[in-house]
Chains A and B, each alone.
Chain A
Amino acid sequence: MSKPRVGIYSLTGCAGDQLMILNLEDDLLDILDKLSIVAFQEASSVKKDEEVDIALVEGSVSTKTDLKRLEEIRKKSNMVIAIGDCAIGGCVQAMRNGETTLAEKMRDVYGKEEEYFDVVEPYGLSKYVKVDLEIPGCPIETTEIRQALLSLLQGNTPDIKDYPVCVECKRNEYPCILVDKGMPCLGPTITAGCYARCPSLDIDCVGCRGPIKGETNAAEGIRTIESKGFGESYIVNRLRFFGANSEEVSKVLKTKQINKLEGEI
């Protein structure tokens, strides 16, 4: 059997998901040996413009150039996998989507030079093209990307978690830092798969694997944290870090906004 052709591509982001692939270290050479890499911008000068079986794409669509590249990638790829939060929901750079305009952000950071750059409001890949699989995380976990690649090599669909971080806390018998310590933990609304790393270090979950798709009860999450004495704007900012483009979160944020406006009237 010939090796599957794989392209690793990067749009706008910190390049951390490509780096996590390099961070496979002990397994890196074995895994790369099973694949035929046709593009890996961070690690190789090899650039073949050919069709691929699997495209791993990190980064958000933040410019028209990103969008053009994404459309080209989609066209030549049998399967497109979004790796990391940037490629799924835009990650932190999308946190003010719907809150401040692009022009405001441009003025804020680059002065009056906004006409120079071809920026668009940051979104994940699925806003524009069909995405076959999303591997969450900021960054992705080395264990998860390794398993995903090995599953695909065997013709199986990789297993992506659809339950909250809380499940991993319970499984590991970590004390609940939200209920017991009153820390503003986002664990109940966030996709598991990180082994509840933050709670294990006595840190409240900041939400870096994003809200669980279709399952997140963000309203309840906000209510619980509010009951621990945290203000609404504090909690809303936190949900926005990794969830501003999430349907579930924006639904709740919209309701909040309406309630607030009604309250003011």
Chain B
Amino acid sequence: MNKEILVEHLTRVEGHGRIEVTVDGSKVKDIKLPIFEGPRFFESFIKGVKYDKVPDVMRRICAICTAAHNLASIRAIEKAFKVEVTPQTRLLRDLLINGEIVESHSLHLFFLALPDYLGYPDAVSMIGKYEKEVKAALQLKKAGNMIHNVLSGREVHGMNDRIGGFSTVPKEEDLIKIKKAMEDSRATAELSVKLFSSLDIANFAQSDNTLMALDPGEKYGYLGDHVLISNGERRSVNDYRELTNEVVVKHSTAKHSSYKGSPFMVGALSRVSLCKDRLYGASKELYNQHKNKLDQRNSLNNNLAQAIELVHSVDRSIEDINILLSWGLKREGLTEIKPKEGAGVAAVDAPRGILYHDYTFDENGCITKANVITPTAINAANIEKDLRVSAGNLLSQGKENLQEPLELIVRAYDPCISCAVHLVKVNSIKCV
């Protein structure tokens, strides 16, 4: 049997991973996505830290979905201490997560995924032929980052969104600037749908996918307290352990998840498939126009699903800003917090899918246990499933032709490996 490292170091993904294939004659015996990013032990070292500074540390799990980690962390603490926030705070948080979707999806679609399809090593090399498009994509990404900057204080690891509200409310003039930037970049978001819907998407990865997404309520979105599953179930995020069943696998610093014995998928394709009836406006029209290209059994369609979300989140940002401006922004201050013994679980549907934070506190408000499950860790087992199916379908064309299609699959999930490592503990303490 011949074990081969097919892709030594995955590029255009966040973090460090590779693809290993074991071939026996004409058969694929095994395929793995080893993740060799160093573990970071957040759940271990956060123990003993007082609640008020927990989000400041925990958001540093990830750079590209920093606001999602921050929000999950903040909301888990608010649930533990039964803190209610104002409608203005809720709307600002919705705007923040939509900004993060715009920043993250535009980076992934134009800079990480598209070069594969156009035959370039990176987006900068595309400048010769696609200068206008690359520059427009940078402006769209910047519009998303403006939301990070104005609402959270900076592009990465922003600190202004806090437990109980926003420390300083944004200025109306800054919200108007964001709205203008989003309006100016709207056509670029639509261009991403046009580009990814016109590509010929191969079906070598075609296989059953179990899907999960947060129930966003009436309107399409990324925040909620219940999980929708493609088998029709709807479960509380408090049941997250049963929904993920994480186990340590020997080849990876990211743990693997399963539900009812099968791997499952989270992210844009899951959200669009499970919440298509909550889409509205332009993104709804685009969904209807391209729904035959959004088959949930082909994970490569995650790119087009992200493009549809890009349009949704640009429009939603504008909508949120219009409501905020019509209300007039109030300096509400932060809700007062009385720490007590307790626990809280919160989830955010981050750009790459469902993210859980679960904390337990002692009577002084210091962490005794923490558990974080990230979307890329959840997706890792499903990515391996797709790689196995694809390698089986493609092996007859020769091993040397496997690398590109397999990398294509991994990138379609937009994996954030930095996020996936370190996390969760499954031992008897069960807590973390």
Q: What is the interface of chain A, defined by CB distance below 8 A to chain B?
A: 10-17, 19-20, 22-23, 25-26, 28-29, 32, 37, 40-47, 59-60, 62-63, 65-66, 91-93, 95-96, 100, 104-113, 116-117, 119, 122, 138-139, 142, 197-198, 201-203, 206, 208, 233-234, 237-238, 241
Contacts and interface: CB of A to CB of B under 8 A. Distances in A.
Contacts of B310: none
B422 to A, nearest CB: 6
A108 B43 contact: yes
B49 A15 contact: no
A202 B331 CA distance: 12
A11 B38 contact: yes
Given A14-B63, A22-B111, A203-B153, 14 more contacts: A23-B156, A25-B142, A25-B145, A41-B11, A41-B12, A43-B12, A45-B115, A47-B9, A62-B40, A91-B60, A93-B422, A108-B43, A109-B422, A109-B432
A28 B123 CA distance: 12
Contact of B153 (A28, A62, A197): A197
Contacts of A122: 38, 40
Interface of B is mostly: loop
B426 to A, nearest CB: 6
B121 interface: yes
A139 B157 contact: yes
A138 B345 CA distance: 26
Contacts of A26: 138, 142
A47 B11 contact: yes
B134 A29 contact: yes
Given A10-B16, A43-B112, A234 B50 contact: yes
B408 to A, nearest CB: 12
Interface in B65-111: 66, 107, 111
A98 to B, nearest CB: 12
A12 B40 contact: yes
Nearest to A205: B159
Contacts of B12: 41-45
A201 B48 contact: no
- Name the residue in A37, A47, A107, A110 with the highest tally of chain B Cβ atoms < 10 Å from its Cβ: A110
A19 B153 contact: no
Contact of A45 (B122, B426, B427): B122
A105 B44 contact: yes
A139 B62 CA distance: 11
Nearest to A28: B138
A44 B145 contact: no
Nearest to B47: A108
Given A93-B41, A234-B50, A109 B56 contact: no
A33 B425 CA distance: 45
A119 B138 contact: no
Given A42-B12, A208-B157, A241-B53, A25 B39 contact: no
19 contacts: A14-B61, A16-B157, A19-B14, A22-B111, A25-B142, A29-B135, A32-B124, A44-B12, A46-B121, A46-B122, A62-B38, A62-B40, A66-B38, A108-B44, A108-B425, A116-B248, A119-B39, A197-B159, A203-B160
